[in-house]
Amino acid sequence: THTINKIAAGEVVERPASVVKELVENSIDAKASSITVEIKNGGIDLIRITDNGKGIPKDEVEIAFLRHATSKIQTAEDLSHVLSLGFRGEALASIGAVSKVELLTKTPHDLTGKRVEVEAGKIISSEEIACPAGTTFIMRQLFYNVPARRAFLKTVSTEASKIADVVYKLALAHPEIAIKYIQNNKLIFQTNGGYDLQRCVFSLYGKETAKDTIPFHYEKDGIELSGLCGLATLARANRNYEFFFINGRYIKSPLLQKAVEEAYKTLITIGKFPFIILHLNLAPEEVDVNVHPTKLEVRFKESDRIYNAVYEGVHHHLSAENL
Ligand code: ADP
Ligand code: MG
């Protein structure tokens, strides 16, 4: 089964950035209000994620490292209305199979917590310990036992920038969570939490960018839109500043891109792209996020309805601002 886990790990764990994404998503699913992400050497040597979430009960810690161990869905039916970010029960098993892991966790109502160490898929130690409520997950030496995969990684700075990309998007997806990002002992950013997206953008991109955005909110037959529209002065040369989130999950969507860009068209120079952060809240049945394990692409049940709501919401809002 170790071989199977190593192969399967490729699906979820492609590179350090995918480890960071899976672990932070677990912290979000655990309702953490504060998450610290720390990496060293592009995440290859060290990834440490600390959260103040609900922790893992002592008798479930070892099980959590087994493939398909998830506490988030019980039945196949649950799959059609998942709101949690994870549901496959693959991340911990996959990461544990290809690195050295140390996990410390405690639930708020337990007096003591648990510390386990996993190497190449084997639990090598497990003990009861005193620790704060929440979970700390430390991963060291990614792919140390799979040299072929390790050789496939890009340079340290490329891997680091892929991680930063993931962490920035997670922070924008969850302005309500205070997220701290530390790279090689240097604090890169720190958000405050507390639902204020503009303030979150301030923490990530600085004052000029935050100042040049306007918050919006729009609702139309069961579709809720909110976010920040960049003003005309913030037009960008590429799409790197178009962020789309559905139910708290970053996604890529040509449909949403088009709706937003069409709405902007009369307002900014052709050939330029807006700065926009769009949060879409939909009934989980309206959207299928189960398209690929990396879960970036979605299928809408009624794409016309979504397109129109987004176009109208953004257009209406920008017109109201008399740009
Ligand atoms: P999934 O997220 O798909 O359920 P994972 O392999 O990512 O699968 O995690 C396995 C299980 O471990 C989760 O279902 C959850 O119960 C537990 N878990 C993992 N990380 C955390 C965390 N930071 N806080 C609380 N529980 C966690
Ligand atoms: Mg998970």
Nearest to 256 by CA among 272, 266, 243: 243
Specify the ligand 1 atom closest to the Cα of 54: 25
DSSP designation for 273: B
* pLDDT of amino acid 233: 73
How does the average pLDDT of the chain come out, rounded? Answer: 89
Compute the distance from residue 276 Cα to the ligand 2 centre, in Å: 28
Q: Considering only residues 159 and 194, tell me which one the structure prediction assigns the higher pLDDT.
A: 159
- Pocket test residue of 23, 26, 137, 139 for ligand 1, highest count of atoms within 8 A of CB: 26
CA–CA separation, 61 vs 74, rounded Å?
Answer: 18
Picking from 24-33, 45-54, 169-178, 294-303, which range would have the lowest pLDDT averaged per residue?
A: 294-303
Residue 84 clears pLDDT 70, i.e. is over it = no
pLDDT in tens, 124-134: 999 999 999 99
Compute the distance from residue 206 Cα to the ligand 1 centre, in Å: 33
CA–CA separation, 290 vs 119, rounded Å?
Answer: 30
CA–CA separation, 146 vs 97, rounded Å?
Answer: 10
Compute the distance from residue 170 Cα to the ligand 1 centre, in Å: 17
Termini Cα distance of the chain: 60
Compute the distance from residue 275 Cα to the ligand 2 centre, in Å: 30
Residue 320 clears pLDDT 80, i.e. is over it = no
Residues 85, 28 contacting (CB under 8 angstroms): yes
DSSP designation for 88: S
Compute the distance from residue 231 Cα to the ligand 2 centre, in Å: 36
Q: What is the pTM of this model?
A: 0.91
pLDDT over 90, % of the chain: 71
Q: Considering only residues 80 and 213, tell me which one the structure prediction assigns the higher pLDDT.
A: 213
CA–CA separation, 297 vs 290, rounded Å?
Answer: 8
pLDDT in tens, 255-292: 999 999 999 987 776 678 999 999 999 998 888 876 56
pLDDT in tens, 6-59: 555 556 789 999 999 999 999 999 999 999 999 999 999 999 999 999 999 999
CA–CA separation, 32 vs 25, rounded Å?
Answer: 10
Tokens representing 15 are: 């590179």
* pLDDT of amino acid 207: 94
* pLDDT of amino acid 288: 83
Of all helices (H) and strands (E), which one includes residue 228? Answer: strand 223-230
* pLDDT of amino acid 25: 94
Find the ligand nearest to 104 CA: 1
- Per DSSP, the three-state class of 38 is strand
pLDDT in tens, 104-125: 999 999 999 999 999 999 999 9
* pLDDT of amino acid 145: 97
Mean pLDDT of 51-80: 80
Nearest to 287 by CA among 309, 276, 303: 303
* pLDDT of amino acid 78: 59
Nearest CA to ligand 1 atom 4: 70
Nearest CA to ligand 1 atom 12: 64
Domains identified in the chain and CATH numbers: 2-190 (3.30.565.10), 212-320 (3.30.230.10)
Amino acid at 215: P
Residue 211 clears pLDDT 80, i.e. is over it = yes
Compute the distance from residue 314 Cα to the ligand 2 centre, in Å: 33
Rg (CA), the chain: 20
**Residue 67 vs residues 16, 88, 188: alpha-carbon distances, Å:** 20, 9, 34
Mean pLDDT of 88-113: 94
Pocket of ligand 1 (CB under 6 A): 22, 26-27, 30, 51, 53-56, 64, 69-72, 86-92, 135
* Residue 109: burial class (beta carbons within 10 Å; 0-12, 13-18, 19+): exposed
* pLDDT of amino acid 241: 93
Residues 252, 239 contacting (CB under 8 angstroms): no
| Spatial CB neighbours of 137, under 8 Å, sequence gap ≥ 6 | 23, 26, 47, 48, 49, 50, 101, 102, 103
Specify the ligand 1 atom closest to the Cα of 55: 25
